[in-house]
Structure 1
């Protein structure tokens, strides 16, 4: 039975992900993306293939932004509690345009040169216990974040809990774009908001 008390800090460990974590990363990314991963992975799936399988294969890769190599895992003992995925946001190629109308707004909400947090998710029994904060602390203190000097992420303004969490961590709005509705997305109206924070 899962205890609802706060995860003891002494028991909580943050470590770099390994390839064997790809399945859990996929599950958690589906949670963190508010339906965006479902939208993207559905287009990649073979007939009858589960979205979790698509995500597992995606994150089992190496040498690409969407890889286990860019993830942190929160654990207590052998139990995975959550994950954070972040990578260096690079500039788009000249003339490169996102043609997908659902994804296009997000292509305009990029901060090249920042460490971009594309996913932060905690399994439900462990939320509001400091796990997300510990993962963000580790990402903000990482060698890549210190080198780049700033962090960025995108959050739906309808996700008030997440927006409050990031604002308390001194993330400020940099830009926003209206959501293009799709049945896969958890929010059918409102805005996608680019948030950023300087680490200097």
Structure 2
């Protein structure tokens, strides 16, 4: 079976609450260790990090919810994920005090559809699934009347960066990341990438 054939079998669908565990697993892939760090700050004793992440995505009426997820499904198996929500300006937001997270608080583009997670299971990569998910993001932004997509990518994640650049994303801002054992990259910058949909 060719990569194109595999992509043709993919259905992009709205996530449901029962998908929360799959969403959490893919979010760990998408975030290059950042979600692992964030979740560890609030994880209760006695449950796994993945279970804690699944509980987070099972919530409703919050940005980080299954409600803001679309999934790539192949024969009933989730193989990819897009998580995105409108980035809104918050003039009352508190200054980020966590030194690891502080750089990301500067990398926001209010008024855009913010792609907080895009991931494809390793064995299904290079088959067009990421492209289908990004097409979904563009369609959703247009449907919601948002003129841009935005996302954060680690400078050292060359494969992801090249994919986003092919999709028309351009560098808007950057901040040096603060190293932490959870992060997959020990140095380099976190990049704010933006794609205009005009």
**Residue 166 of structure 1 aligns with which residue?**
164
- 2:185 equivalent to 1:194: no
Cα contact 1:17–1:73 (8 A) shared by 2? yes
**Residue 128 of structure 2 aligns with which residue?**
130
CA distance in 2, matches of 1:110, 1:17: 25
CA distance in 2, matches of 1:44, 1:144: 35
Structure 2 spans left out of the alignment, 5+ residues: none
Question: Given the superposition, is the C-alpha separation of residues 158 and 114 from structure 1 closer, same or farther in structure 2, using an over 3 Å criterion?
Answer: same
Cα contact 1:4–1:125 (8 A) shared by 2? no
**Residue 180 of structure 1 aligns with which residue?**
178
CA distance in 2, matches of 1:40, 1:11: 34
Please state whether the residue corresponding to 2:6 is helix, strand or coil.
coil
Residue pairs, 1:39-188, within 5 angstroms: 39-94=37-92, 96-142=94-140, 146-188=144-186
1:47 is displaced (CA, Å) by 1.7
The alignment of Structure 1 onto Structure 2 pairs a total of residues equal to 198
Q: TM-score, normalised by structure 2?
A: 0.95
Question: Given the superposition, is the C-alpha separation of residues 97 and 145 from structure 1 closer, same or farther in structure 2, using an over 3 Å criterion?
Answer: farther
Deviations along 1:5-26, one digit per CA (max 9) or x if unpaired, are 4453431110110111000000
Please state whether the residue corresponding to 1:30 is helix, strand or coil.
helix
CA distance in 2, matches of 1:112, 1:44: 26
Alignment RMSD (CA, Å) = 1.5
Deviations along 1:171-194, one digit per CA (max 9) or x if unpaired, are 000000001011110111000000
Cα contact 2:141–2:149 (8 A) shared by 1? no
Question: Given the superposition, is the C-alpha separation of residues 65 and 11 from structure 1 closer, same or farther in structure 2, using an over 3 Å criterion?
Answer: same
Structure 1 spans left out of the alignment, 5+ residues: none
